[in-house]
């Protein structure tokens, strides 16, 4: 048995009479290229009242005959996507109907010339006639027909014919049809049925598309005799066509806010809605409209976005704006369903209103000498939102408060300005104070060209009888300590503020812890009454404070302060630090020991340090004093490597090492341990002179006296040199040390001369070594100062005068450590950067 074909046709609403059976749609397979005269199908209109009826096609490529036949007018192509058009008609009663025609291409088409007859997918009707030359082109049928449809919520009467299901097997067999599945044997049950004989599918009651958008059931065909299926089962899809039976509804919030005075076009909020009808159809195409509030706002017709229409929105005029929004489907057509709602738009505040004063001027009165009291309350009004930075007032005194007598605050509850006097006013200096006060907000002004407002405030000062006033209120007097008693230092008087006179005023000492000053009762003269001592514990940082009291005839009083700045004199002798018992021991190997002697002086510089340490007369000559802190520096510069030898003294040879730049060792604490003054050696009377705090007492033995520090009168000569090489030379010898270094990019050389060098004894060989070194250094200095052609142009000595009371740097270098001055073992503790220098020094010492 050759496979058969089901034929499907969809009926529409009957609009004329029950006998008129016009389906809602028909489907036909046609060739890809349809030629003129090709019969597509026939609309069954023979059972209708056709008097006055007219038929028309929406597609000009197809024409309608009076009997309902659809024919092709010209060559037409049907693509793989298919082609659809409408056929419209009107019966004699003026009732209108419409049928949809769906064409699909038959790619495996077999053209068969047959006599004109009703096609398989259209039920036969009486009265269908065709001319003898008319033929149908029969296509090869398939088991996948396009879905047909019913209209949701259709109106009675029921049942209604929906679609004819036919199989080609009915040509060879006597068949019957059955259907099963959704809408038949499954919920909603018994919605569809099929005529067993004809295959007509019928619908029995209305259905809601929003609940059941489509149905899929199975159609089967059987041989009446054998009961066997004559064709394969066919799945039938029935689409429920949407009708506009649901009005759109609002689906989002309708409360919005926007800043007042915003620019036109500022977004306010978006109104959202939904529609249960079929999407992407006119039934769900919603148009938004503002029914009220259109003078201030606009709404997007399809977006629902509300925007500001004007820049004149004023919160102070109306805080909340209610606008009525309509949503209507069918793109706003009059027959569209709609809903309305009220959207609430709140205007947010900006600071577009400055505080305003209730009066044009204010006056207040305050007595002189009063402080920390409220003078005036200044109320203001502000239209902006209360208790916000736009409303909170901030008051500023813009004029008249140059002396800082007033302060103005804001009352947080009333927003008033509170004017206080915080510094006493003086009636004698001014009877009236004119203030200018500005009222502002915490937030800056925006949205307008306005400015902050100001008002004048006149404060009258009330007069009071006051006590005398000293001029100046604080007097400073310089005086030397130990000034003789009775010496007149100054006169300190007061005036009556009202009379500007000192008549009748008496003076008394109110505070003078040492009773050093006597004040004249009627004159205010200040005279020395007791010894003024800078070293007294009553003196702080060289200053001594006295308070004088002035009393007028009305017993009013006033105070004045006097500060004595005391200048030091040399009225204290240096003293060996008391409480120290010194013990000197002799070592087992016969090496003599030493002890440290410390001294102090209560005076200030220059009447204290430096100290002269000396042994008393008549000592046995077995003792000597030397400084344990000081070392003298001479910085030596040369353009080539040299060795300099010194005579006789064990430490008299200059030891040389090379360094390319000042490294981290320059920052060592050992390089700056000597104070700004040191101790010098006097070789005649055995005294140690200098500004150091300590001296070293040891038994006399071989060796050179301890070197001394740079003192007043030294001269520093700085040599600028282009060479980056620097020679660092050290020497241990009597009162001398030689070195080279670099300062500010150039090498430098120093030569120090002692204050009492001329008193040196010629009997000491160490002194001879010093003189030899001095001569050598003098020649070298002349050499450096020479500007001959063979000298480098930049190797010119430049002298700089030294000013001060000793070298502030003190001793610098590895030799600054305390201990045996002739021992270089301490170089081992200075780190790897000094190892080379230490080794050279030790080797030279062993050679000597």
pLDDT value, residue 500: 84
Q: The tokens 């409360």 sit on which residue?
A: 255
Q: What would the DSSP string read from start to end of 520-553? A: -TTT-EEEE-S---TTSTT-BTTEEEEEEEEE-T
> Of 92, 48, 94, 80, which Cα lies nearest the Cα of 67?
48
pLDDT value, residue 718: 30
User: Cβ(170)–Cβ(176) under 8 Å?
Assistant: no
pLDDT value, residue 41: 85
For residue range 121-143, list pLDDT tens digits in order: 333 333 333 333 333 333 334 34
CA distance 716 to 727: 18
As a residue count, the chain comes to: 848
Q: How far apart are the first and last CA of the chain?
A: 138
User: Cβ(321)–Cβ(309) under 8 Å?
Assistant: no
Q: What is the DSSP letter of 184?
A: T
| Sign of the CA dihedral running 838, 839, 844, 848 | positive
Look at strands 623-626 and 694-699 and give their pairing: antiparallel
User: Cβ(674)–Cβ(816) under 8 Å?
Assistant: yes
> For the ranges 297-301, 512-516, 643-647, which has the lowest average pLDDT?
643-647
Summarize the confidence of residues 16-38 as an average pLDDT.
73
Q: Which residues contact 198 (CB under 8 A, 6 or more apart)?
A: 123, 164
From residue 146, alpha-carbon distances to 9, 19, 101 in Å are: 10, 27, 12
What are the φ/ψ torsions at residue 671 (nearest 5 degrees)?
-85, -15
- Residue 756 tokens, joined: 């009492």
Q: pLDDT band at residue 630, thresholds of 50, 70 and 90?
A: low
Summarize the confidence of residues 383-405 as an average pLDDT.
95
> Of 72, 69, 74, 41, which Cα lies nearest the Cα of 55?
69
pLDDT value, residue 13: 30
What are the φ/ψ torsions at residue 330 (nearest 5 degrees)?
60, 30
pLDDT score of 634 more than 60: no
**Confidence (pTM):** 0.45
Summarize the confidence of residues 425-436 as an average pLDDT.
91
- Alpha-carbon Rg of the chain, whole angstroms? 61
Other C-beta atoms lying within 10 Å of the C-beta of residue 5: 22
Q: Which residues contact 767 (CB under 8 A, 6 or more apart)?
A: 683, 734, 760, 761
pLDDT score of 701 more than 90: no
> Of 435, 389, 378, which Cα lies nearest the Cα of 411?
378
pLDDT value, residue 305: 97
User: Cβ(732)–Cβ(820) under 8 Å?
Assistant: no
SS3 837: helix
132 exposure class (CB count in 10 Å sphere: 0-12, 13-18, 19+): exposed
pLDDT value, residue 785: 56
Summarize the confidence of residues 187-208 as an average pLDDT.
93
> Where is mean pLDDT largest: 195-199, 462-466, 597-601, 664-668?
195-199
338 exposure class (CB count in 10 Å sphere: 0-12, 13-18, 19+): middle
Q: Which residues contact 383 (CB under 8 A, 6 or more apart)?
A: 316, 353
- Residue 117 tokens, joined: 């007859």
Summarize the confidence of residues 767-796 as an average pLDDT.
57
For residue range 48-98, list pLDDT tens digits in order: 654 445 678 888 888 887 778 888 888 888 988 888 888 887 766 666 778
CA distance 364 to 459: 5
Summarize the confidence of residues 651-677 as an average pLDDT.
43
pLDDT value, residue 198: 86
pLDDT score of 807 more than 60: no
CA distance 659 to 672: 20
From residue 318, alpha-carbon distances to 312, 691, 840 in Å are: 11, 88, 97
Q: pLDDT band at residue 467, thresholds of 50, 70 and 90?
A: confident
* H helix intervals, 414-557: none
Catalogue the E-assigned strands of 332-487. 338-348, 356-357, 362-367, 373-378, 380-381, 393-399, 406-410, 417-421, 432-441, 453-462, 469-470, 474-480
pLDDT score of 680 more than 50: no
Q: What mean pLDDT value characterizes the chain?
A: 74
Q: Which residues contact 361 (CB under 8 A, 6 or more apart)?
A: 455, 456, 457, 458
SS3 90: strand
CA distance 62 to 56: 9
Q: pLDDT band at residue 20, thresholds of 50, 70 and 90?
A: low
Q: What is the DSSP letter of 154?
A: P
pLDDT score of 302 more than 70: yes
Q: Which residues contact 103 (CB under 8 A, 6 or more apart)?
A: 27, 28, 29, 30, 40, 78, 82, 83, 84
For residue range 33-62, list pLDDT tens digits in order: 888 888 888 887 665 654 445 678 888 888
Summarize the confidence of residues 815-837 as an average pLDDT.
54
Considering only residues 641 and 138, tell me which one the structure prediction assigns the higher pLDDT.
641
- Residue 328 tokens, joined: 């209507």
Other C-beta atoms lying within 10 Å of the C-beta of residue 249: 12
> On the CB side of 700, how many CA atoms lie within 13 Å of its CA?
9
811 exposure class (CB count in 10 Å sphere: 0-12, 13-18, 19+): buried
pLDDT score of 462 more than 60: yes
Q: In what order do the strands lie in the sheet with 373-378?
A: 373-378, 417-421, 406-410
CA distance 728 to 747: 11
For residue range 537-553, list pLDDT tens digits in order: 999 999 999 999 999 98
Look at strands 432-441 and 393-399 and give their pairing: antiparallel
CA distance 330 to 324: 20
Summarize the confidence of residues 335-364 as an average pLDDT.
95
Summarize the confidence of residues 509-519 as an average pLDDT.
95
User: Cβ(55)–Cβ(88) under 8 Å?
Assistant: yes
> Of 447, 449, 527, which Cα lies nearest the Cα of 487?
527
Summarize the confidence of residues 223-229 as an average pLDDT.
93
């Amino acid at each position: 048995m050759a496979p058969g074909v089901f034929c499907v046709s969809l009926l529409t609403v009957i609009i004329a009479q029950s006998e008129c059976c016009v389906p809602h749609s028909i489907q036909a397979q046609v060739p890809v290229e349809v030629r003129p005269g090709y019969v597509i199908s026939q609309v069954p209109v023979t059972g209708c009242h056709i008097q006055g009826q007219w038929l028309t096609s929406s597609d000009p490529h197809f024409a309608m005959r009076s009997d309902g036949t659809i024919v092709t007018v010209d060559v037409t192509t049907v693509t793989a996507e298919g082609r659809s058009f409408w056929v419209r008609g009107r019966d004699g009663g003026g009732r209108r109907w419409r049928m949809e025609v769906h064409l699909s291409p038959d790619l495996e088409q077999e053209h068969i010339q047959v006599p004109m007859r009703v096609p398989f997918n259209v039920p036969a009707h009486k009265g269908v006639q065709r001319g003898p030359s008319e033929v149908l082109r029969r296509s090869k049928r398939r088991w996948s027909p396009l879905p047909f449809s019913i209209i949701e919520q259709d109106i009675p009467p029921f049942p209604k014919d929906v679609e004819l299901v036919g199989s080609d097997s009915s040509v060879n067999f006597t068949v019957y049809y059955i259907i099963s599945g959704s809408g038949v044997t499954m919920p909603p049950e018994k919605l569809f049925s099929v005529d067993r004989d004809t295959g007509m599918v019928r619908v029995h009651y209305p259905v809601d598309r929003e609940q059941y958008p489509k149905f899929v059931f199975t159609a089967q065909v059987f041989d009446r005799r054998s009961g066997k299926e004559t064709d394969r089962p066919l799945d039938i899809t029935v689409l429920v066509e949407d009708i506009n039976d649901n009005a759109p509804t609002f689906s989002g919030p309708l409360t919005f806010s926007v800043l007042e005075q915003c620019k036109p076009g500022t977004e306010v909020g978006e109104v959202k809605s939904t529609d249960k009808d079929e999407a992407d159809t006119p039934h769900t195409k919603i148009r938004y409209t503002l029914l009220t509030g259109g003078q201030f706002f606009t709404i997007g017709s399809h977006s629902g976005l509300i925007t500001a229409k004007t820049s004149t929105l004023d919160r102070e005029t109306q805080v909340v704006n209610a606008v009525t929004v309509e949503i209507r489907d069918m793109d706003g057509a009059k027959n569209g369903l709609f809903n309305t709602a009220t959207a609430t738009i709140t205007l947010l505040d900006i600071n577009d209103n400055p505080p305003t004063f209730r009066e044009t001027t204010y006056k207040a009165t305050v007595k002189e000498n009063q402080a920390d009291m409220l003078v005036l309350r200044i109320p203001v009004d502000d239209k902006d939102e209360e208790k916000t930075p736009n409303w909170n007032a901030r008051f500023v005194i813009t004029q008249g408060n140059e002396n800082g007598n007033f302060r103005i605050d804001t009352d947080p509850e009333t927003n008033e300005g509170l004017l206080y006097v915080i510094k006493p006013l003086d009636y004698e200096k001014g009877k009236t104070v004119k203030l200018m006060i500005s009222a502002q907000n915490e937030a800056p002004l925006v949205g307008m060209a306005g400015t902050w407002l100001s008002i004048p405030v006149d404060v009258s000062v009330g007069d009071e009888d006051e006590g005398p006033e000293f001029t100046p209120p604080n007097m400073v007097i310089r005086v030397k300590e130990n000034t003789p008693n009775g010496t007149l230092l100054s006169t300190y008087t007061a005036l009556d503020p009202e009379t500007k006179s000192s008549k009748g005023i008496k003076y008394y000492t109110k505070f003078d812890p040492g009773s050093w000053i006597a004040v004249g009762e009627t004159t205010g003269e200040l005279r020395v009454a007791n010894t003024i001592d800078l070293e007294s514990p009553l003196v702080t940082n060289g200053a001594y404070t006295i308070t004088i009291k002035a009393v007028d005839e009305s017993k009013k009083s006033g105070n004045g302060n006097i500060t004595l700045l005391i200048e030091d004199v040399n009225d204290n002798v240096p003293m060996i630090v008391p409480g120290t018992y010194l013990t000197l021991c002799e070592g087992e190997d016969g090496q003599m020991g030493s002890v440290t002697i410390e001294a102090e002086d209560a005076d200030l510089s220059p009447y204290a340090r430096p100290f002269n340490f000396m042994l008393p007369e008549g000592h046995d000559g077995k003792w000597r004093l030397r400084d344990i802190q000081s070392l003298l520096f001479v910085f030596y510069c040369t353009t080539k490597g040299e060795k300099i030898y010194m005579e006789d003294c064990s430490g008299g040879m200059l030891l040389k090492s090379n360094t390319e730049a000042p490294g981290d060792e320059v920052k060592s604490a050992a390089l700056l341990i000597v104070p700004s003054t040191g101790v010098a050696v006097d070789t005649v009377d055995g005294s140690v002179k200098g500004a150091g705090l300590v001296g070293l007492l040891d038994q006399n033995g071989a060796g050179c006296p301890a070197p001394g520090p740079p003192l007043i009168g030294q001269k520093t000569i700085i040599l600028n040199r282009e060479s980056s090489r620097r020679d660092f030379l050290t020497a241990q010898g009597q009162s001398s040390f030689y070195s080279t270094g670099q300062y500010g990019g150039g090498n430098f050389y120093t030569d120090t001369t002692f204050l009492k060098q001329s008193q040196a004894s010629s009997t000491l060989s160490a002194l001879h070594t010093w003189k030899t070194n001095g001569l050598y250094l003098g020649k070298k200095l002349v050499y450096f100062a020479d500007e001959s052609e063979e000298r480098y142009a930049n190797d010119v000595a430049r002298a700089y005068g030294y000013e001060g009371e000793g070298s502030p740097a003190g001793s610098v270098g590895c030799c600054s450590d305390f201990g045996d001055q002739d021992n270089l073992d301490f170089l081992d503790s200075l780190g790897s950067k000094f190892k080379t220098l230490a080794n050279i020094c030790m080797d030279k010492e062993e050679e000597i």
